[in-house]
Amino acid sequence: MLAQKYVRKGCKAYLAYVLDDQELKRKLESVPVVCEYPDVFPEELPGLPPVRKVEFGIELVPGTTPISIAPYRMAPTELKELKAQLQELTDRGFTRPSFSPWGALVLFMKKKDGTMRLCIDYRQLNKVIIKNKYPLPCIDDLFNQLKGASVFSKIDLRSGYYQLWVRDVDIPKTTFRTRYGHYEFLVMPFGLTNAPAVFMDLMNRIFRPYLDRFVVVFIDGILVYSRDETEHAEHLRLVLQILRDKQLYAKFSKCEFWLREVSFLGHVVSASGIRVDPSKILAILN
């Protein structure tokens, strides 16, 4: 309460927290059913994804020629961060050096924890991409499925887009330019038109037998819902087994299990019904 008082007065506030990997591991081991699937919750993606039935393609408006934009000037701290993140992406196989005539620029966005997120500005490329008409689900329709449920688990995939290949012929179009060279993505990057729709297609195909029964998927988020705990154990085990079989990986620290009330897509869901998440209202008011 005292901290909130000073923040309202305009004082700067810094939030610091420490994540203990061993503590996270202990928590995973203590969660019923989830403890049987530690390989689904790695600390980092184990590498490039397997070949899947869905790949990310980039279809262009006829007559489009390659677009290349010169990188803007960066501060020394940004250059240091850029070099480190480029090395990590390349070491993990997600990007590789490119000689493509395409080239988007890069920029940094500060995350909530103060670290820098490398972003590729694909706005010019997005203007010439033919839009994928694959529909994202209507939120009201998703919530209608949850009536009668009283136990919930929410699973968020770890860097979900990086778990899907870019179609070989389209890899050069993902190229971005830096002072350290040009790089292209082998996995689906963030910021491209159609990425949410393509990932939604993948998730629908994988979980189709269980949609409208006990699974809701929205892009890289999965909600498992059940009438009671016995049923939920069965449902949760089925979902985690699918993730294991399909080599899809989740981020344990962003998942929640065995809840009587869950926040999902800006709403709070429980056996009592569905209401707008108060934190979202507060964010708008502030």
The CATH class for the domain spanning 26-285 reads alpha beta
Output the pLDDT for position 18: 40
Instruction: Give the pLDDT confidence of 177-216 residue by residue, as tens digits.
Output: 999 999 999 999 999 999 999 999 999 999 999 999 999 9
Cα–Cα distance measured from residue 243 to residue 42, given in angstroms and rounded to the nearest whole number = 12
Domain ranges, ordered by start, for the chain: 26-285
Overall residue count recorded for the chain in this entry: 286
User: What percent of the chain has pLDDT above 90?
Assistant: 66
Q: What are the pLDDT digits (tens) for 23-61? A: 555 588 889 999 999 999 999 999 999 999 999 999 999
- pLDDT for position 264: 81
Tokens of 2: 């005292």
Give, for 152, the enclosing helix (H) or strand (E).
Answer: strand 151-156
Please, which pLDDT band fits residue 138 given cuts at 50, 70 and 90? confident
In sequence order, which residues have a C-beta less than 8 Å from that of residue 194 and are 6 or more positions away? 56, 58, 129, 131, 132
C-alpha–C-alpha distance, residues 45 and 161, integer Å: 11
Q: What is the mean pLDDT of residues 86-100?
A: 96
Give how far Cα 168 sits from Cα of 21, 45, 99, 160, 163, Å. Answer: 36, 21, 15, 19, 15
Strand partners, 268: 263, 275
The pLDDT of residue 51 is 95
